[in-house]
Amino acid sequence: MRRFLRHPSDMPVELIVRKQVSLPRQRLHDISLGGVACNSSRSFRRGTEVEMHIPLLGDQARYPGVIAWCHKLQNDYLVGISFIDEDTLFRARMVEQVCQIEHYRHQRELELGKPLAVEAVAGEWIAQHAAEFSSASLS
C-alpha cells in the first residue's frame, strides 16, 4: 500500500461525496500520486469521488479526490483519499504541511505553557519532518 499523509485529528475535515460518476475500478489501480488519510464518522466505498474540505482554512481549502481505502476503527473509520492529478496533490500536500505545523505549534505551546511564534515553530517542524513530505516518500 502506498503511503498516505495522516491528517491531524484536531483539525476537522469534511468529506463531501461528489455527484459525478465514480471512476471505473480499473482506473483506481493507476492512481499512484499519493494522498491523505483522515478520520471519518462514516464509511466510504472504494472509488467514491469526494471533495476533502478543511473548514478551519476557509472555503478555498477544497481538494477533489477518490476514496482509495476505508478501514473500520473502534469508534470511526480511517479513510484514504487519493488525488488523481499533480496540481491537486501539490496543493493538498502544502495544506497538510500547514495543518501539521499548526498541530505541532499547539502541542509545543501546551508543553511550554506559553504562546510561540509561528515562524519559529514552522522552522523547527520543517527541520524535523520535511523529509516525510518529499515526493519520493509518498509513492
- The pTM (predicted TM-score) of the whole model is 0.73
Q: How many alpha carbons lie under 13 Å from residue 43 in its C-beta half-sphere?
A: 9
Mapped onto helix, strand or coil, the DSSP state of residue 10 is coil
Give me the residue spans of the domains in the chain.
4-138
The answer on pLDDT for 31 being more than 50 is no
Asked if 49 and 66 count as a contact pair (C-beta separation under 8 A), the reply is: yes
Cell of 52: 476533502
User: What are 94-135's pLDDT values in tens digits?
Assistant: 888 888 888 899 999 999 999 999 888 989 988 888 777 664
Contacts of 39 (CB under 8 A, 6+ apart): 7, 9, 13, 73, 76, 77, 78, 79
Mean confidence (pLDDT) of the chain? 81
Whole-number pLDDT of residue 20: 62
Mean pLDDT, residues 27-38: 61
Longest C-alpha distance within the chain, in Å?
Answer: 52
Name the residue with higher pLDDT: 129 or 77: 77
Looking at residue 48, what DSSP letter applies? -
**3-state DSSP helix/strand/coil percent for the chain, to nearest 5?**
40, 25, 35
Whole-number pLDDT of residue 81: 92
The CATH code that applies to domain 4-138 is 2.40.10
